[in-house]
């Protein structure tokens, strides 16, 4: 069946901006037609990414969906298949972060973090896996972890816990999906120059008295072996490898892309 498919397709969640946008553009360059996903508040960003992909000569659609809602994820997968063709790649990239001391966390803080970062990944993994199994042509499923899935950061405790859960889900899915010729891996970015890390920098600065930008600069200088903050393209290059044919014998792994903060 795979040989009969005229074009390859990928869904990238949270791809209106940041790392997700970079991944969507990289996969388009690699020959994929892309389903760009984000939440309704980021519709204009998602539509802009669609236009950028189309300018590369690939097909693209924008599907607004909250990954924490399984029915919305299932509809997104079906829409992608209906409009672009059989699903080859799912990149469960969407996620949220929050900077807050452990003892100040509310039940709602913890619940929302896991709804997006854990339930959202599970929903994308499971919906994609069911579609790929139905197609009987294998596939690749990828999820967004983080360096905090290996070593938590202070003030990012529930975010760290959610990313540890992504590692566990990735390993479990890899074991159960192997017989269907579906590989399941995750990528773990470090300190990246995105809106999420701008927020982390701002909130940590409020707690420590540091000026805006100083926290990331300090972390980059003291923690990163390569001495610079990451850019989204550093991550999308690795995702391109994990989505491509050269990684067919890689599954159940969480690949760290951090310039040398965490060593596995």
Residue 201 domain flag: no
Residue 225 domain flag: no
- The structural domain count of the chain equals 1
Residue 89 annotated in ligand binding: no
pLDDT at site 204: 77
Residue 33 domain flag: yes
Give the domain extent around 178.
Answer: 2-190+231-257
Confirm if 113 and 146 have CB atoms less than 8 A apart: no
Question: Is residue 140's pLDDT more than 80?
Answer: yes
Residue 128 domain flag: yes
For the CA atoms of 181, 171, 70, 149, what is the dihedral angle to 10 degrees? -140
Residue 9 annotated in ligand binding: no
Q: Which residue has the tokens 């072996």?
A: 225
Nearest Cα to Cα of residue 177 among 215, 211, 127? 127
Burial track 187-211 (b if 16+ CB lie within 10 A, e otherwise): bbbbbbbbebbeebbebbbeeeebe
Residue 215 annotated in ligand binding: no
pLDDT at site 1: 39
Percent of the chain with pLDDT over 70: 98
Per the model's pLDDT, the better-predicted residue between 195 and 40 turns out to be 40
Residue 219 annotated in ligand binding: no
Query: Per residue in 208-264, pLDDT tens?
Result: 788 887 777 777 778 899 988 899 999 999 999 999 999 999 999 999 999 999 998
Residue 81 domain flag: yes
Q: Take residue 134 and report the two structure tokens written for it.
A: 């139905």
pLDDT at site 154: 82
Instruction: Give the active site residues.
Output: 159
Query: Per residue in 147-177, pLDDT tens?
Result: 999 999 888 999 999 999 999 999 999 999 9
Percent of the chain with pLDDT over 90: 81
CATH number, domain with residue 141: 3.40.50.720
């Amino acid at each position: 069946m795979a040989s009969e498919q005229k074009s390859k397709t990928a869904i990238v969640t949270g791809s209106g901006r940041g790392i997700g946008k970079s991944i969507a553009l990289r996969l388009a360059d690699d020959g994929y037609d892309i389903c760009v996903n984000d939440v309704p508040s980021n519709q204009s960003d998602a539509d802009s990414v669609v236009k950028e992909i189309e300018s590369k000569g690939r097909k693209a659609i924008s599907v607004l969906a909250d990954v924490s809602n399984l029915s919305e994820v299932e509809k997104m997968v079906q829409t992608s298949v209906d409009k672009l063709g059989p699903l080859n790649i799912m990149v469960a990239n969407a996620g949220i972060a929050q900077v807050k001391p452990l003892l100040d966390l509310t039940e709602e803080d913890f619940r929302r973090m896991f709804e997006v970062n854990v339930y959202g990944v599970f929903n994308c993994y499971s919906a994609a896996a069911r579609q790929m199994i139905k197609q009987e042509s294998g596939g690749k499923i990828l999820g967004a972890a983080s360096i905090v899935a290996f070593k938590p950061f202070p003030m990012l405790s529930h975010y760290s816990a959610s990313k540890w859960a992504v590692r566990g889900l990735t390993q479990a899915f890899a074991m159960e999906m192997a017989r269907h010729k579906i590989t399941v891996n995750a990528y773990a970015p470090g300190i990246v120059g995105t809106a999420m890390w701008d927020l982390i920098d701002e909130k940590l600065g409020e707690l420590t008295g540091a000026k805006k930008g100083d926290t990331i600069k300090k972390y980059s200088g003291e923690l990163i072996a390569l001495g610079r903050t990451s850019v989204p393209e550093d991550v999308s290059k690795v995702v391109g490898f994990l989505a491509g044919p050269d990684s067919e014998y890689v599954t159940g792994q969480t690949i760290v892309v951090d310039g040398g903060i965490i060593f596995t």
